[in-house]
Structure 1
Amino acid sequence: MSKTLRRVAIIGGVRIPFCRSGTLYADLSNLDMMTAALSGLVDRFNLKGAHVDEVVGGAVVTHAKDWNLAREAVLSTTLAPSTPGITMMQACGTSLQAAMGIAAKIAAGQIESGIAVGSDTTSDPPIVFSKKFARRMTEMASKKTVMERFKVFSGFRPGELVPQPPQTSEPRTGLSMGQHCELMAKKWEIPRVEQDELAYESHKHAAEAYVSGYMDDLVVPCAGVFRDNNIREDISLDKLATLKTAFDKSDTATLTAANSTPLTDGAAAVLLASEEWAAERGLPIQAYLVDAQHIGNDFVSGEGLLMAPTIAVSKLLDRNGLTLQDFDFYEIHEAFAAQVLATLKAWEDPEYCKNVLGKDAPLGSIDRTKLNVKGSSIAVGHPFAATGARIMANLAKLLDQNGGRGLISVCTAGGMGVAAILESPKAKAMDVAA
């Protein structure tokens, strides 16, 4: 027997301040930061001792000891121990994908509540040795006598101890994400000045969000840190124009450290529930998660590593009978300024929309004054797995304050895109009244 799908409420979210790698969180682990974000969420919504049906999320840069990060984080908070934790990863879309899975179960009536969470640190990366030395260590652990262990190291060479640093390049191409985005910037002819202008606006909007008090209930302190340390209130377009390119030293390169996201440490969490669960606890609903979509693209053949969100958004619009212009807010993750601008340009391009999206006409342009109005990843930072939850919590608050409908678009490594539509309860009320 089929069931009527229930609406999925977003109660709200919090995050800890995001910090540049190697700075204020240098001594914290993924577990430390995820626990801090979850604890902040518990405090904000009075969940001490409460059972939540699922906590789902993870990290992208992990150690072997992080075997079930979400469950260990739950056990480190005051949530009821009956709350299960599930660790998953989809690169930069991790916590948004986690929210999608939770939402599907709530909609189907399988669960009543869930928390999507993500944490990442590039200050504490896993450093491994060569495979040969690793095999020696594994074999040594199985030996019982000193002599047997000594024999394991027969033929040992010092070079085996050279550490293997974490790799950030795409396995299929050997290129870093920045190098891939440089190719996109060239293909879509995205000027350096436009990238710098987008970065400038991101910092200005994020700084204003703190000054206005908008961030007060979205950010909880951690390890004595009270705000993101990447935001530059005094940012200058003249200064941005002087910076050297970061991923390509040719004369045609345009990406710099300033118009790209920095390596960042941080964590974020967002609470989703059925309307009934929220009402029982007297928790106001900030927004509804209406629908979501994820997809991959053939970036190896040249479609662009970070262009999959263009496809995800197109499918989402079709399924919901909406146009690209039917939104009051757009939250497009700023992996790179060039990536955001290439996405916008692709939606306006007849050939791309026909050949890649299967459209008879372009999706069109958006009102740029509605884009990332409180800043985004270039300014606040991008702890990979935490960004989706950060964006969802931010958009839910915007809709709670202003009403309307919002679109989320997140690109990920591996040529994937994750997109979602959120809607304000006020919009629903207006629909009923009409």
Structure 2
Amino acid sequence: MHRFAQKIFVASGLRTPFGRGGGALADHDAISLSVPLAQAMAAKARPDLVVWGTVIPSLGWSNIGREIWLDAGLDPTVPAFSAVLACSTSMIAAFAAAGMLGGSADLALVGGAEVMSNPSIGLTLAASKRITKLFRQNPAEAMTALRNLTADDLTLPTKGWANRITGRTMGDHMEETAKIWSIGRAAQDDWALKSHQRAVAGWERGFFDDLVIALPEISRDANPRADTSAEKLAALAPAFDKSGAGSLTAGNSSPITDGAAALWVATEAGLAKLPADTPYAELVDHEIAAVDHAVDGLLMAPSFAIARLLARHGLKYGDIALWEIHEAFAAQVLANIAALEKPGWTRDRVGLDVDFGQFPWDRVNPNGGSVAIGHPFAATGARDLSQAVKELWGMQSGSRAIVSICADGGHGTVALLERP
């Protein structure tokens, strides 16, 4: 069974090194950070379509895809538009592009960028209306009002981009979910340590060399720590629940990160336009799930999407050779897999009376995940997909991968890939 009327492929692209918040890339915005990446991708092939996204909004633009493409000095006859779905932004952009290919478009450039170091600060609706009215009536008085703004007049990215409806951060929500699923501190720290060790090892053996372009400010990811240890992780204080019962720390959570990432989405004709050595995989199917966060938890939708996707294709966990799972938090990975492993859970919560077998923990994130590499919101989908495609490329024909991302709002997006 295939999702699309024709075969659709995703091919590994490029990304910038991921920088620490407030670090080497902090002088950029999402457009300027994306421009060299778009130029590097366009040097490989001319796309028929561009889809790009960013999550943290800016009043400086409305269609970041087009702005990047034109700022990069690239062919203005290539259409470009923007997509957004929180942390799934560049994955949903890939799904959108996939559905548009055929006819006059065979190759899409898809990506996302986030400079979390520089969130925009806006005015509250009341302050905006007041000052806009003053500019119409008395510009000088309006300028005085601007100089006299207080914190109450500003819309700030408080509490780490908290969910608008609940007013709580992703970490706050994940602490609650970790307690429900009995995901303890030791298990989270152990997963975080593995993520760092795998990412560092990936860099040392050259796995990332053809996936990452060097920038003047930075040439490799800044977040993976070769010197971390179980003892160092255990010494960190809880970052969200500080009551004494918290288990999520800066060490087992994805860090504030700046970065941009891109990949290709193509038909067979589109693949022919890419360099012959480009790794690619068929995008067999995808699934988007949404849950009631008050019932299942804000970041638990991937488990629903994974179960539905596997059931639709008659697959079990063991049929998947590679699992590339976004690590918003170590606890989020562990909780979603705990749900999938729990007897009766897929029957009772997803409505699927299927025995998916034993979950293959040793096939998850072999080159590290977001806890170590970093998580620039809109770039993560493209990073995960590109990384998975390259990892899958080293396996035998017919090998399958699941790429999974949780997103704010109770969403989860999952792709099923297959090595040709």
Give the drift of 1:110: 6.0
User: AA paired with 1:189?
Assistant: S
Instruction: Quote the sequence identity (%).
Output: 36
Q: Give the alignment partner of residue 139 of structure 2, picking from 128, 143, 149.
A: 149
Secondary structure at the aligned position of 1:385 is classed as helix
- Which residue matches 2:193? 200
Give the drift of 1:155: 9.1
- Which residue matches 1:273? 266
1:418 has 2:396 as partner: no
Q: Give the alignment partner of residue 357 of structure 1, picking from 350, 353, 368.
A: 350
Give the drift of 1:81: 1.5
Distance in 2 of aligned mates of 1:363 and 1:175: 34
The 5 Å alignment of 1:307-322 reads 307-322=300-315
- Which residue matches 2:24? 24
8 Å contact kept, 1:307–1:415: yes
Give the drift of 1:138: 1.4
- Which residue matches 1:337? 330
Distance in 1 of aligned mates of 2:282 and 2:232: 41
Aligned residue pairs total 412
Q: Give the alignment partner of residue 90 of structure 1, picking from 51, 71, 85.
A: 85
1:241 has 2:231 as partner: no
Distance in 2 of aligned mates of 1:149 and 1:96: 44
User: AA paired with 2:282?
Assistant: Y
For structure 2, the residue ranges without an aligned partner over 5 or more in a row are none
- Which residue matches 1:290? 284
Give the drift of 1:282: 5.3
- Which residue matches 1:10? 10
Give the drift of 1:248: 0.2
Q: TM-score with structure 2 length normalisation?
A: 0.93
8 Å contact kept, 2:293–2:410: yes
CA displacement, residues 188-247 of structure 1 (integer Å, 9 cap, x when unaligned): 001111100100000000001111011110000123310111110111101111110000
User: AA paired with 1:96?
Assistant: M
8 Å contact kept, 1:136–1:153: no
The 5 Å alignment of 1:70-89 reads 70-89=65-84
Secondary structure at the aligned position of 2:13 is classed as strand
Alignment RMSD (CA, Å): 2.1
8 Å contact kept, 1:5–1:109: no
Secondary structure at the aligned position of 2:350 is classed as coil
CA displacement, residues 326-359 of structure 1 (integer Å, 9 cap, x when unaligned): 1111001000000000011100112422221113
Give the drift of 1:123: 1.1
8 Å contact kept, 1:350–1:361: no
Distance in 2 of aligned mates of 1:153 and 1:391: 46
1:105 has 2:96 as partner: no
Find the structure with the greater CA-based Rg. 1
8 Å contact kept, 1:199–1:258: yes
Could you say if the C-alpha distance between residues 157 and 141 of structure 1 is closer, same or farther in structure 2, counting changes exceeding 3 Å? closer
Distance in 2 of aligned mates of 1:151 and 1:16: 45
Could you say if the C-alpha distance between residues 274 and 28 of structure 1 is closer, same or farther in structure 2, counting changes exceeding 3 Å? same
Give the drift of 1:33: 1.3
The 5 Å alignment of 1:147-226 reads 148-150=138-140, 158=148, 160=150, 163-167=154-158, 168-226=161-219
Distance in 2 of aligned mates of 1:295 and 1:94: 14
Distance in 2 of aligned mates of 1:319 and 1:110: 31
8 Å contact kept, 1:344–1:365: no
Distance in 2 of aligned mates of 1:178 and 1:363: 30
Give the drift of 1:141: 3.3
Distance in 2 of aligned mates of 1:39 and 1:155: 42
Could you say if the C-alpha distance between residues 253 and 362 of structure 1 is closer, same or farther in structure 2, counting changes exceeding 3 Å? farther
Give the drift of 1:313: 0.9
User: AA paired with 1:236?
Assistant: S
Secondary structure at the aligned position of 1:244 is classed as coil
1:407 has 2:398 as partner: no
